[in-house]
């Protein structure tokens, strides 16, 4: 099965710590049976790709919550 887009690139402003924010864009796609959330900076540089758990695959509000966690936990580490 080929890669299929579930949610096209979407711009988001993610609130970080102490009133700071980060501009990013994200997409959600399926590759085979797995679903992924891909995050890029406003400059198009890749930040992180995360495999989505089954319960979060089709919930847009979950994608935006995951953005903040990825940026705070993965990128800031």
Work out the end-to-end distance of the chain between its first and last CA atoms, rounded to an integer number of angstroms. 35
In contact, 52 and 45? CB cutoff 8 Å: no
For the segment 14-50, what is each residue's pLDDT rounded down to a tens digit?
887 777 888 999 999 999 889 999 999 989 999 999 8
Query: How many folded domains does the chain comprise?
Result: 1
Task: Please tell me the least confidently modeled range out of 10-14, 56-60, 67-71.
Answer: 56-60
Which helix (H) or strand (E) segment is 36 a member of?
strand 34-41
Range of the domain at 24: 3-75
> Taking the model in full, what pTM does it have?
0.81
Confidence (pLDDT) at 37: 92
Confidence (pLDDT) at 45: 94
């Amino acid at each position: 099965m080929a890669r299929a887009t579930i949610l096209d690139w979407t711009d988001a402003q993610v609130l970080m710590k102490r009133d700071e924010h980060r501009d990013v864009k994200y997409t959600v796609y399926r590759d085979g049976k797995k679903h992924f959330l891909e995050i890029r900076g406003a400059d198009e540089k890749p930040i992180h790709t995360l495999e989505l758990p089954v319960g979060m695959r089709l919930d847009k509000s979950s994608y935006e919550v995951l953005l903040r966690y990825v940026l705070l936990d993965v990128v800031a580490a």
